[in-house]
Amino acid sequence: MTEALPVADGPAPELRVWALDGIPEVSPGDDLVSLVLAALEAQPAPDRWVQDGDVVVVTSKIVSKAEGRVVSADDREQAITDETVRVVASRVHPGGVTRIVENRLGLVMAAAGVDASNTPDGTVLLLPVDPDLSARRLRAGLADHLGVRVGVVVTDTAGRPWRAGQTDIAIGAAGVQVMDDLRGQTDTQGRTLTVTVAAVADEIAAAAELVKGKASGRPVAIVRGLAHLTLADDGPGARALVRLGPEDMFAQGSAEAYEQGWKDAVEGDRQ
Amino acid sequence: MTEALPVADGPAPELRVWALDGIPEVSPGDDLVSLVLAALEAQPAPDRWVQDGDVVVVTSKIVSKAEGRVVSADDREQAITDETVRVVASRVHPGGVTRIVENRLGLVMAAAGVDASNTPDGTVLLLPVDPDLSARRLRAGLADHLGVRVGVVVTDTAGRPWRAGQTDIAIGAAGVQVMDDLRGQTDTQGRTLTVTVAAVADEIAAAAELVKGKASGRPVAIVRGLAHLTLADDGPGARALVRLGPEDMFAQGSAEAYEQGWKDAVEGDRQ
C-alpha cells in the first residue's frame, strides 16, 4: 500500500514549475541520474535545487536516448509494427498511413510512440522499455546522491480523439500518485463526489510541458508544491493510467469497427 | 489575426500557479468579474495580484452558476438529451446508462457535461451557453477594473479514451493562445518539427486543476509565466480545440460502429 508523506496544512498552495538548463545532448549509455545532478548543480539559485516533495518531470526522449533505444530510420515502419500490440485505427493520407495503435506499454498513440524528431539523422527513437522502471531508477539515484525523496514522472506527447493538438501525458512514474481519487470526498454542499478521479500524473506532465516546450532543449522540469501527491514508496506507476479492455468504448476506430460489423454480417459470423 | 505580446527573453522561465481563496458560493445573477476582483483584493501578498500576461483560470461550474444554468435534477436525463448534438457511444451498467455525446459546444463528454456535484440539492448544472464569450467578458471586466491584460481560460473536467481518470480541459478561452504551433520550429538537430501542435490551453487547465482541486472550493487559479502565450486580442477561443468531422477517427464508439456496419450489410445499404 502506498502512503502519502505528511504535509502541512495552510493557505492555497502555490505550484512552481521550472525547466532545468544545461542538460546536454544525450547519447546511448549516458547516465540519466548524473545528467540531472549536473544540471541541478548548475542551477543559479539555491531554491532551484530539488527538495523533498518535488516532482522531477523528464521527457521520455532523453530516457530513450540514454537507454540506447535508437534504431535505423530505414526501419521506421518495422519499428512501429514491432512496438504495436494492436492496431486501433489507421488512415491513408497524402503523406502516408497514420496508424493509431496500442503499444506494448498499453498506450494508444500515433505511430506507437516511435519518434523521428530530435534524433540523429537516419534514426528514430523508440519509447523506453519500461518507463515506470526508468522513473524508479531516477528516483532512487536522486535519493542516493542528494538524500531527497522526490517523485519522478516520465512524459511523452500524445494526441487525443476529438481535440486538436497534443498534450504531454505520464508514461512512467515513481514516488508520486498518478490518480487522486476524490470519490470519497464531499463537495462544498456536503455531498459525496462520486465520479472524479483526477489523473494528476497526466496533469503534472501537462504543466511541465508548458515550461519545457518541444524545441527548447529543456527536457527536464521540476514541479514544486505537490508534496501531498508524493509517496514514501514508488507507488503504482503510470501503467495504472492505462484503461483498456472491457471498459474501453473506443477499442477500434469507427471505420474499422464498421468494416468488422459489415464483414461479420456478410460472413454470418457476428461477434 | 491574433498577435502575441512582446516578451523578454531570458533563462528558463518559471511558472507559478495558485488558487484564489475567498470565492464564495456563486448564485444565479452573480457578477463573475466582481467575485474575482473581491478575491484578488483579499490576496495576502501583492505579488498575488494579477498582472499583464497572467492567465486567470476559472472552473466552468461557477460560470454556469453565475449565468443561471441550473435546472431541476428531475430533468437530468432530459437536460443531457437537450445538450446533445450526437450520441457517440453509450453503455448500460448497473448504475444506469453512460452516454458519451458530442454536446452543442463540440465537446465529447460523458453526460454532455451536465453536472450533479457542487450544486444545490435537486438541481443539476449545465455548461455555460458560450464559454468563449464568458471568458471574453471576464477578460474585458478585469481589463476595465484593473487595467491589466490577462488571458482567461474556462475549464471543465473530462474523461479520455484509453486513459484512467479525468483531467481538466479548456472549454472557453480569451486573450490566450489555445494551441502553440511548433511545426515551423527546428529541433535541437536543426530539423523541422513537423507534427507537434501543443494544446496549451488544455495544459493550462490541467496545471490549474492541480491547485484548484475538486472539493476545495477554490474555483479560480492564476497562472503566471506564460505571457508569451497571451494575446493582445481575444484570440481564437477554446472552440478551436474541437476536432470533429472528417478528421475524427472515433466519431462512433466501437460497438455502435460495429452495429451500424452489421445493420447496413444486412439491409444492403452500406455507408
ipTM: 0.92
**Under 8 Å between Cβ of B66 and B32:** yes
Q: State mean pLDDT over A207-220.
A: 86
**Under 8 Å between Cβ of A162 and B108:** yes
Q: Which helix (H) or strand (E) holds B71?
A: strand B70-72
Nearest to B240, CA basis, from B193, B175, B173: B173
- Using one digit for the tens of pLDDT, what is the confidence trace for A150-159? 999 999 999 9
User: What is the layout of strands, in order, in the sheet containing A96-103?
Assistant: A84-93, A96-103, A108-110
d(CA B177, CA A245): 36
* Nine-digit cell string for B155: 475549464
* Nine-digit cell string for A14: 502555490
B1: burial class by Cβ within 10 Å (0-12, 13-18, 19+)?
Answer: exposed
Could you tell me the pLDDT band of residue B9, with boundaries at 50, 70 and 90? very low
Nearest to B257, CA basis, from A263, A247, A267, A101: A263
d(CA A78, CA A222): 36
Q: Is residue A23 less than 8 Å (CB to CB) from chain B?
A: no
Residue numbers in B near A207 (CB within 8 A): 15, 17, 203, 206-207, 210
- Using one digit for the tens of pLDDT, what is the confidence trace for A228-261? 999 999 999 999 999 999 889 999 999 999 999 9
Phi, psi (deg, nearest 5) at residue B111: 55, 25
Give the nearest chain A residue to B245 (CA atoms): A162
Residue numbers in B near A197 (CB within 8 A): 164-166
Go through the domains of chain B in sequence order and give each one's CATH number: 16-69+127-265 (3.30.1330.100), 70-126 (3.90.1660.10)
Which of B21, B193, B249 faces A253 most closely, judged by CB atoms? Answer: B249
Q: Is residue A92 less than 8 Å (CB to CB) from chain B?
A: no
pLDDT at A6: 36
Could you tell me the pLDDT band of residue A8, with boundaries at 50, 70 and 90? very low
A85: burial class by Cβ within 10 Å (0-12, 13-18, 19+)?
Answer: middle
**Under 8 Å between Cβ of A31 and A91:** no
Mutation for testing the B interface, residue in A258, A267, A269, A271 having most B CBs under 10 Å: A258
Residues 6+ apart with CB under 8 A from B127: B60, B64, B69, B83, B103, B105, B107, B112, B113, B114, B156, B171
Question: Each residue of B249-270: b (16+ CB within 10 Å) or e?
Answer: bbbbbbbbbbbbbbebbeeeee
**Which DSSP state fits B104?**
T
Query: A39-43, B94-98, B195-199 — which one is most confidently predicted on average?
Result: A39-43
Note if the pTM is more than 0.90: yes
Pairing of strands B70-72, A84-93: unpaired
